[in-house]
Structure 1
């Protein structure tokens, strides 16, 4: 009988920062960008993926969200994502039902879209009209792995079709579950479903198939699972945390629901400020802890702290803010504290 491993909050947070590349930035390069995008980089807020890269990779440039080897698609929860091209099957086919009406719809839309585009790239409103559906329905076609998008945050996304990934749906689903458990763990089948945008009991077969790779654990918010390969990381002593990081709305480090949020942000009031009913703000990390939120309007960054920060901590946050590699600004970035 496998013993349930008790894990402290400090162990879990240190592991998540370590695998999420938030304690120390990686040297710039394709491998670093791919590692930073292991759980996908949400890009539903204009250039959020770029800011997630900047938090993890040295020397990130304003154009690196579309660097060679990275692609954009409608990923989990049909949000815009930037991922490594080699992970296209994981973030598309990993969410495709194995059978049923939704799969048939996705495959039919992908076929019809490919026939309309004939190798071209087209604004998705125009593409939807050409296919004969509301353009938002084209998001279902992305489940097949055949549809990529390009969205610069200002205009309507464009769509293009590519060959289907040479991976079966079950293999892709298992890899997606492993990504979730590695970067977001400890996790549960329900948590995986919320993160990946999967419904009902469709996540259970993946967790059952991963059974030999999993270890049961218990944290202050309940029981869950980790990958056995991550046990050493979770047991190891925390390393030094970064002085400060500004994470955009939807960054993988904060992409939680339910009790998982309590582990990341213990105070209920602070959780309400970070995970708002509408558009979430970004998260301010200082010394590895979420200590506030931030929002941006053009070059103006507004930071709201949950507690009084020291002069050195405020300086570290401001240094991160002015270094954001944002394109198209007409004035230097300034920081306002509220």
Structure 2
């Protein structure tokens, strides 16, 4: 890999860049282009309507049905997790995860072909489709998603509905390179190992992608070790040197800002005990950004939002949290959201 000079980045520079790159410092105007930018690295939707709340954190005037916008689609994306992405980016999040090995690619392509022939233009529950194909476990249909020919609709309470679409006219290698670029822009600085884990493509595919991107990458030093950023982002990283700041943002479980593993979590939450409260062994709570730092975890049950504060919030901060909670565009919720405060 071609190596460029190392740049030393502080924690504040990294988090400030990620928040700006992730559209968390100022909401984008309504519209399809803003939805695409909000979903630049995909919006995880494995918790029902998490993508809806991730959109709200980034795009102004978000309606309760924003996740259903015609410019967006739902699929099994990286790690076979439910994602909402821009329709025009389907190839990036599907073909970009196509297995690197011949056996894995054949399994994906064969499953996709069998599913397409069985459905014959119909839409049905993926469990019903799996039974129709004689599969012991309908989850095997997820392998087909990497071909870019499978879309889903998942409401959360029911099994996903599944159907097939024409294959994208995109080279899988180019799709993977674009997936890596987007990961580096939203999650950077990043390593081959972190991209391999996030994308589910494995170490060999991640190594190949980073080697091909080598001339367009810059090696950087971070508080948790060396990593890589896109060279085109270098000036923006350098500019973010004035400390952290920003508005209140309620981030759902699985939000791009929070989907981190290992040492990457240390940057966002330096306190080891607090990290265990945000990234729990089971279902993660949401995290709340105040002034550029995670200061609260939260969970919602119907119209009650329970927030657990990590420090004493000012009256103005509490008012901002309540205003953000009351503005949540939740489908089927007609009553006012009530905030219940607890202190860790």
- TM-score grouping bracket, smaller chain normalisation: over 0.9
Match of 1:197 in 2: 200
Superposed CA offset, 1:26-46 (max 9, x none): 111111101100010100001
Given candidates 97, 103, 117, the residue that maps to 1:101 is: 103
CA contact (8 A) 1:98 1:169 kept: no
* Structure 1 position 327 matched with structure 2 position 331: yes
Pick one of 116, 122, 137 that aligns with 1:120: 122
Please give the residue correspondences for 1:35-184 in structure 2 after superposition, counting only pairs within 5 Å: 35-133=37-135, 134-184=137-187
Cα drift, residue 198 of structure 1: 2.2
For 1:19 and 1:239, how far apart are their aligned partners in 2?
A: 16
Is the Cα–Cα contact under 8 Å of residues 126 and 138 in structure 2 kept in the other structure?
yes
Q: Which residue of 2 aligns with 1:317?
A: 321
User: Aligned partners of 2:300, 2:4: CA distance in 1, in Å?
Assistant: 48
C-alpha displacement of 1:66: 1.1
Q: Distance in 1 between matches of 2:100 and 2:272?
A: 39
Q: Offset of 1:239 from its aligned partner?
A: 8.8
Contact 2:224 / 2:264 at 8 angstroms: preserved in 1? yes
Check the 8 A contact 1:96/1:144 in 2, yes or no. Answer: yes
Cα contact 1:93–1:144 (8 A) shared by 2: yes
Partners of 2:272 and 2:244 lie apart in 1 by 27
- Count of residue pairs brought into register by the alignment: 338
Query: Which residue is 2:290 aligned to?
Result: 286
Residue 129 of structure 1: SS of its match in structure 2? helix
CA shift in 2, pair 1:241/1:119, >3 Å: farther
Match of 2:257, SS state, is: helix
Which of 270, 276, 279 in structure 1 is aligned with 2:274?
A: 270
**Bigger shift: residues 94-103 or 150-159:** 94-103
What is the CA–CA distance in structure 2 between the aligned matches of 1:315 and 1:100, rounded to whole Å? 56
Look up the SS of the partner of 1:269 in the other structure: helix
**For the Cα contact (< 8 Å) 1:243–1:313, is it kept in 2?**
no
- For 1:248, which of 252, 271, 276 is the aligned residue? 252
Alpha-carbon distance, 1:240 to partner: 7.9
Worse-matched range after superposition: 101-110 or 205-214? 101-110
User: 1:15: how far off?
Assistant: 0.5
Distance (Å, rounded) in 2 between the aligned partners of 1:99 and 1:76:
16
Residue 22 of structure 1 aligns to a residue whose secondary structure is coil
Sort the Cα spacing of 1:111 and 1:2 in 2 relative to 1 into closer, same or farther, 3 A: closer
TM (norm. structure 1) is 0.97
TM-score calculated relative to the size of structure 2: 0.96
SS where residue 228 of structure 2 aligns? strand
Please report the RMSD computed on the Cα atoms of aligned residues, expressed in angstroms: 1.3
Q: Does the Cα contact within 8 Å between 2:18 and 2:187 map onto a contact in 1?
A: yes
Q: Structure 1 regions of 5+ residues with no counterpart?
A: none
The answer to whether the 8 Å contact 2:244/2:293 transfers is no
- Give the Å deviation of 1:330: 5.0
Distance between the aligned counterparts of 1:161 and 1:115, measured in 2? 10
8 Å Cα contact 1:24-1:241 kept in structure 2: no
For the residues of structure 1 that align with 2:333 and 2:304, how far apart are their CA atoms?
10
Q: In 2, distance between residues paired with 1:266 and 1:119? A: 51
The one-character-per-residue Cα deviations of 1:255-314 (angstroms, maximum 9, x if unpaired) are 110111101111111111111110111011001111121001111111011111111111
CA distance in 1, matches of 2:4, 2:158: 53
1:77-114 deviation line (CA, Å, top 9, x unaligned): 11110000111111011111243222111111100110
Decide whether the 8 Å contact of 2:177 with 2:209 is kept in 1. Answer: yes
Which structure 2 segments of 5+ residues have no match? Answer: none
Number of the residue aligned with 1:216: 219
The yes-or-no answer on 1:307 pairing with 2:311 is yes
SS in 1 for 2:35: helix
String of CA shifts for 1:134-165, please: whole Å, max 9, x gaps: 21111111011100000122211100100111
Query: Conserved in 2, the CA contact under 8 Å of 1:70 and 1:85?
Result: yes
Query: Does structure 2 retain, via aligned residues, the 8 Å contact 1:244–1:320?
Result: yes
